[in-house]
Amino acid sequence: MGVRNASAGACVKEVIIKEIPNAKVDVMVLDLSSMSSIRNFAENFNSQNLPLNILINNAGIAFAPFTLSEDDIELHFATNHLGHFLLTHLLLEGMKTTAQETNIEGRIIIVSSDSYKLTYHEGIRFDRINDELGKTLFLKISYFSFSLYFCFLANILHAHELSKQLKHEDVKITVNALHPGGIVTNILRYQGFLDGMTFLYLILFHLFSHILYNVTSRMKFEQEKHFLADFEIPF
């Protein structure tokens, strides 16, 4: 597990081991907002020569105050897209090797959102990614919204392009982005009015079922859809 908080990751490991005593779980520090942290993680992982069949890019933040990462990139875009993009790139050769040596199809899952449709009509405005649009409530909402929508759209485009390249190389790795469903988690910690809210029509199972479907389904390499939403997953 790649985790930003090592102590929290250790607690999760304990829970998993308690439930599944024979499970082998490694916890490694990984901050998706930091390019140096990502490179260190990938270097450490690759040096162990472990097989890698499945990569789930699920880290994310939302509605954080305007902040630049240590690499001077807007924090949402750095964490939700660029971090996943770089991590996937650095682990990809190992995934190719695993797929070839085991003859088991690899899977890359990139969590996005169907809110990608709400970005600027031009698509991703790279010239505005680092903009702090203003101090009024309306402009803050605009900033939060578009910074998130950029990430969602970029993740889908990443999945589409990477899949095309892997098919061209005849590498048996499927790549899909997905909409996880609406749930209340700690990702909403920056929005006090949402903290503790319960959506009766949406349950935590949505997130895990969507990811697990992509990981375990018998979807063939040729049947990738690149973006999966609720209505496309048979639960």
| Mean pLDDT estimate for the chain | 77
- Whether the pLDDT of residue 130 is over 90: the answer is no
Distance from C-alpha of 97 to C-alpha of 137, rounded to nearest angstrom:
50
- Given a contact cutoff of 8 angstroms between Cβ atoms, the answer to whether 32 and 84 are in contact is yes
Span 159-202, pLDDT tens digits: 999 999 999 999 999 998 887 765 555 555 555 544 444 433 34
C-alpha separations of 174 from 30, 151, 171, 192, 210 in Å = 24, 21, 9, 38, 15
> Residue 235: what pLDDT?
36
C-alpha separations of 168 from 73, 162, 173 in Å = 32, 10, 11
221 pLDDT band, cuts 50/70/90, is very low
DSSP track, 165-188: HHHHTT--EEEEEE-------GGG
35 pLDDT band, cuts 50/70/90, is very high
> In the chain, where does DSSP find H-type helix?
6-19, 35-47, 75-77, 83-102, 137-168, 205-216
- Given a contact cutoff of 8 angstroms between Cβ atoms, the answer to whether 102 and 173 are in contact is no
User: For a pLDDT cut of 70, what percent of the chain falls above it?
Assistant: 66
Q: Which residue has the higher pLDDT, 102 or 67?
A: 102
Full set of structural domains in the chain with CATH: 54-232 (3.40.50.720)
Distance from C-alpha of 143 to C-alpha of 146, rounded to nearest angstrom:
5
Instruction: Tell me if residue 143 is catalytic.
Output: yes
Q: Which of 116, 120, 143, 213 is catalytic?
A: 143
